[in-house]
Amino acid sequence: MNDKILITGASGHLGGGVLANLVNLLPPSQLVAAGRNQDALARFSNTGVDIRTMDFDDAGSIEAALADVGTLYIVPTAAPDRSEQHRRVIDIAARSGVKHVLYSGVIHHDEHGFGPAIADHQQTERHMATSGLQHTFIRNGIYLDAIPMLLGNALESGVFAYPTAPHGVSWAARADLAEATARIIADPKHHGKVHQLSLTHAVDYVALASILSTLSGRSVIHQHIAPQAYEQVLVKVGVPAGLAGFLAGLADAMAQGVVLQPTHELAHILGREPLGMADVLKADLARQ
Ligand SMILES: NC(=O)c1ccc[n+]([C@@H]2O[C@H](COP(=O)([O-])OP(=O)(O)OC[C@H]3O[C@@H](n4cnc5c(N)ncnc54)[C@H](OP(=O)(O)O)[C@@H]3O)[C@@H](O)[C@H]2O)c1
């Protein structure tokens, strides 16, 4: 009988957080932790969940992992060919006994042309929609936890150089996204829908710089740089060309307001105010 719920990326931050919340919402014997890194999956070894190896590049491992699974939650990978990987997983799910697939993409408008950071999610969602499986789209705000990666040397130089997003960006703490996603998976009333999970208000980079200044005690200002120039800066400091293009595409999409749909849904599902930018950055700075 296909009654298991399998969580991919359970070895990582988002999927691991989803599963850590799910074990408090559903019987652990119903849950499966999947990933490639068995050492990282070992954190679930005493929880009663089943632990399985599943590599999106290995069809055999996907088929074996899905044998008794009825609900599949997919965490996107960061591979350059991830939309192909996701397509492979969805196709195999559709011909095994899986009935429902959920996927965590990113908040986006439905227009095309905003680089792979957005297009990969659009392609995966389209494939889910035509798969014949019940499908639930979870569209996440940009991780507040990712801000340190965007800052470059802003804390030392006092300048956060990044393409301006005039109306701000929809952000969310990854821990909150994980908790809300677990609630979506566990409760059928959330299934078959599009969920937009973010803070209730957009935050722009001027406000971000101001929060950084307050928390660090050092003056930081935001300065606009064109997306193409930003890409060249990344390449100059050694970021591989493919990743630089990906990050510049994301910056461009945010600048154009594609990742801008603040909603109350995250707060509603959590039943509390989500963590804000200052909460997450404060914890980040304390760790540095
Ligand atoms: N919304 C945002 O702002 C934002 C920011 C950054 C990233 N993201 C996206 O969100 C995803 C999850 O974020 P995260 O912080 O949880 O990342 P993470 O900690 O790096 O986790 C990524 C997970 O993907 C799994 N994975 C990678 N390649 C795989 C493959 N070939 N087959 C099966 N599993 C594979 C990894 O499993 P193993 O380690 O076991 O291989 C890992 O568990 C990222 O992969 C990225 O697509 C979103």
**CA 288, CA 284: separation in Å to the nearest integer?**
7
114 inside domain: yes
Q: Distance from the CA of 117 to the center of ligand 1, in angstroms?
A: 13
For the full predicted model, state whether its pTM sits above 0.85.
yes
Residue 62's domain comprises 4-143+172-197
Mutate which of 32, 75, 118 for ligand 1 pocket (most atoms within 8 A of beta carbon):
75
CATH number at residue 90: 3.40.50.720
Question: Any idea of the CA torsion for 108, 62, 188, 118, to the nearest 10 degrees?
Answer: 0
Relative orientation angle of helices 205-216 and 277-287, to the nearest 10 degrees: 40
- Are 253 and 108 in contact, with CB atoms under 8 Å apart? yes
3-state secondary structure (DSSP) of residue 154: helix
Is ligand 1 within 6 A of the CB of residue 147?
Answer: no
Terminal Cα-to-Cα distance of the chain (whole angstroms): 48
**CA 130, CA 255: separation in Å to the nearest integer?**
31
pLDDT the model gives residue 97: 93
| Best CA proximity match to 8, nearest among 31, 26, 35, 27 | 35
Residues 6+ apart with CB under 8 A from 102: 71, 72, 73, 74, 135, 136, 137, 138, 181, 184, 185, 191
3-state secondary structure (DSSP) of residue 198: coil
pLDDT in tens, the chain (288 residues): 889 999 999 999 999 999 999 999 999 999 999 999 999 999 999 999 999 999 999 999 999 999 999 999 999 999 999 999 999 999 999 999 999 999 999 998 888 888 888 999 999 999 999 999 999 999 999 999 999 988 888 999 999 999 999 999 999 999 999 999 999 999 999 999 999 999 999 999 999 999 999 999 999 999 999 999 999 988 988 999 988 998 999 999 999 999 998 999 999 999 999 999 999 999 988 887
- What atom in ligand 1 is closest to the CA of residue 35? 40
Q: How many domains does the chain have?
A: 1
- What atom in ligand 1 is closest to the CA of residue 142? 3
Is ligand 1 within 6 A of the CB of residue 55?
Answer: yes
